Structure 1
Amino acid sequence: MSTPHAFMLQAQGLSLGPIQNLNFTWPTGVSWLCGDEGTGKTTLLRLLAGDVQPTAGAVTTPEGGVFWANLQDPAHDTTTVQASWDALRARYPNWNAALQQDLAEALDMTPHLEKRLNMLSAGSRRKVMVVAALASGATVTLLDQPFAALDMASIHIIQDFLHEAVHHTSRTWIVADYEAPAQWHTSRVLNLDLYANGSTSQ
């Protein structure tokens, strides 16, 4: 469901697996989705993307598309880096090709463009997803543990991008990880550890 004239990303009574009766509204800018293993971080991202359907409740999304990709899936093993980006680019009309190239260079992915994903290290494979996510131009961008297995230089590049996106007024980036950086404003954090104890609703 989309709202044509206003930004609205909202879960209403959303339920599936560990996510039960979640009511939450995400602002524009950058938000964090945190929690321990099994609390439903990836499940919630997939619900927001429409990749799976809830057993109850609904998700309202804005116009402009929702980016979600799980390139860790073995189904993508034989796809090359460039082919992965080309396939995703076809799905997102606001894809920023210049940003894709800049990020590929900054994250040292240009030497690997013709390699299959199963030939890459865990960190490099993660970078393929991150480049696609940040270049997608989607109104809602969902990032599942984007820093896992990355070197510190790459982590800083991605964090710098997210810091610049914090005050964006028409798009949102939701980052799922075990915890949010200490400097992040708490109103932009949905902590599923607390939600599981019945204390998180917005």
Structure 2
Amino acid sequence: MADSSMLQVTGLRFAYPECAVLEGVSLAWPAGLALVQGDESTGKTTLLRVLAGELVPQAGDIVLQGVPQRSAPQAYRAQVFWQDPRSTALDEITARQWLAGLPAQYPAWDAAALASHVEGFSLEPHLDKPFFALSTGSRRKVLMAGGFASGAALTLIDEPVAGLDKPSINYLVQVLARAASDPARLVVVAHYEALLGVAWGSTLTLARAR
């Protein structure tokens, strides 16, 4: 694999009890912007959860900036931002409270970037609402604002445009365009197709496992 690879995955396999999802996934991605695409039930979200360390694969190795997920899980996860937009774990706290807790988790946290994302996504009116009161789009925008501001070496974003209004989609495209040239971070986006106006540095297309 190339020395410039930030994320290396070799022979990844993951199966739920009822079905296999990922089989023999290998990749070597540099910093920048990557797209995981595929139809429904092809394993896009599952792959992000495995890369985040939330799910344990049955086979394969994952290495992020030289840190192996299998043998150094805590050091690996410390480099990763992942928040499942479908999870109810944050429902009882406000968006502002959640964002306020992130700087302690991420050493490269960028407060100025967060302020820009709050403005760009028009989030100010929603910051003092609990997550359960947020719309699908507002919830995703809060999570993305935190993820992009985290400075995490690996930032995982699932289905970013679900519920987003057009101005927010336009802002998202601008943020992703900047991420594409960041030499210190890899942003991985899972979506069923490529977003218009985004130049993806790396891509992976998933198909249903047989």
Name the TM-score, length of structure 2 as normaliser: 0.84
Deviations 1:17-48 (A, max 9, x none): 20112111112211100011111111111111
Matched, 1:47 2:50: yes
Measured in 1, the distance between the counterparts of 2:30 and 2:153 equals: 12
The alpha carbon displacement at 1:104 in A equals: 0.6
Instruction: Go from structure 1 to structure 2 and tell me whether the alpha carbon gap of 1:187 and 1:132 turns closer, same or farther (over 3 Å shift).
Output: closer
Aligned to 2:64: 61
The alpha carbon displacement at 1:162 in A equals: 0.9
The alpha carbon displacement at 1:181 in A equals: 3.0
Deviations 1:137-181 (A, max 9, x none): 011111101111100100110111111221222321111000113
Instruction: Go from structure 1 to structure 2 and tell me whether the alpha carbon gap of 1:83 and 1:184 turns closer, same or farther (over 3 Å shift).
Output: closer
- Structure number with the higher helix fraction is 1
What are structure 2's unaligned runs of at least 5 residues?
Answer: 16-20, 68-77
User: 1:174 pairs with 185, 188, 195, which one?
Assistant: 188
Measured in 2, the distance between the counterparts of 1:116 and 1:59 equals: 35
Instruction: Go from structure 1 to structure 2 and tell me whether the alpha carbon gap of 1:177 and 1:29 turns closer, same or farther (over 3 Å shift).
Output: same
User: 1:31 pairs with 26, 30, 34, which one?
Assistant: 34
Instruction: Go from structure 1 to structure 2 and tell me whether the alpha carbon gap of 1:161 and 1:15 turns closer, same or farther (over 3 Å shift).
Output: same
Q: Number of matched residues?
A: 192
Could you say what secondary structure the match of 1:89 adopts?
Answer: coil
Residue identity over aligned pairs, in percent, reads 39
Aligned to 1:153: 167
Could you say what secondary structure the match of 1:76 adopts?
Answer: coil
Instruction: Go from structure 1 to structure 2 and tell me whether the alpha carbon gap of 1:86 and 1:182 turns closer, same or farther (over 3 Å shift).
Output: closer
Which stretch of structure 1 is more off in the superposition, 180-189 or 67-76? 180-189
Aligned to 2:88: 74
The residue type equivalent to 1:67 in the other structure is F
Could you say what secondary structure the match of 1:42 adopts?
Answer: helix
Matched, 1:116 2:100: no
Deviations 1:72-122 (A, max 9, x none): 311211110011112333211111111111111221111221110111111
Name the TM-score, length of structure 1 as normaliser: 0.87
Contact 1:180 1:189 in 2 (8 A): no
The residue type equivalent to 2:46 in the other structure is T
Measured in 2, the distance between the counterparts of 1:184 and 1:110 equals: 26
Instruction: Go from structure 1 to structure 2 and tell me whether the alpha carbon gap of 1:6 and 1:25 turns closer, same or farther (over 3 Å shift).
Output: closer
Aligned to 1:164: 178
Contact 1:47 1:59 in 2 (8 A): no
CA RMSD of aligned residues (A): 2.1
Instruction: Go from structure 1 to structure 2 and tell me whether the alpha carbon gap of 1:71 and 1:183 turns closer, same or farther (over 3 Å shift).
Output: closer
